[in-house]
Amino acid sequence: MIVRRIALATAVAIVLSACSFQNKYEREADRITHAVMNNDLRPVQGDIAKGINVSRVQVAEWSDELGAQGKLISLKETTTNCPVGWHCFDAKFEKHDYVEQMRLDDQGKVVDWRFHMARGATQ
């Protein structure tokens, strides 16, 4: 029993330390990406600005595309080709690399999030 607790504590510490290297925007984009992949925006609903509506059909389409890419390996913020006022990320999946872009309001709520396969990636 004690060995299980130590193993669990070690696993939690490893997961938390892995997340600690992400800045707050990377953590937010990571949460949204995982929510989309799971076809369920409820875990991030409070992070989305009021008045922003995303249909279930749109989430399902996004989920199909990102889910088909396999496991999300990493998500890192980048300034390369990033429009002013946006946060941009290089998202590496098992199958293909993607670019994600996120825009926030003055309250720090997400008002826009979009993604596309990185240039040079083949389907």
Question: Is 3.10.450.590 the CATH classification of the domain at 23-117?
Answer: yes
The full length of the chain comes to 123
- Residue 13: which pLDDT band, with cuts at 50, 70 and 90? very low
Name the pLDDT band for 15 (thresholds 50, 70, 90): very low
Report the pLDDT averaged over residues 37-61.
96
pLDDT, average across residues 92-111: 97
d(CA 83, CA 76): 16
pTM comes to 0.80
At 47-56, the pLDDT tens digits run 999 999 999 9
Identify which has the larger pLDDT, 31 or 2.
31
Beta bridge partners of 87: 102
- How many helices (H) and strands (E) are present in the chain, helices listed first? 3, 4
Q: Hey, where are the domains in the chain?
A: 23-117
Tokens of 68: 């088909």
Report how far residue 63's alpha carbon sits from residue 39's, in angstroms, rounded to the nearest whole number: 5
Cα separation of 69 and 33, whole Å?
Answer: 12
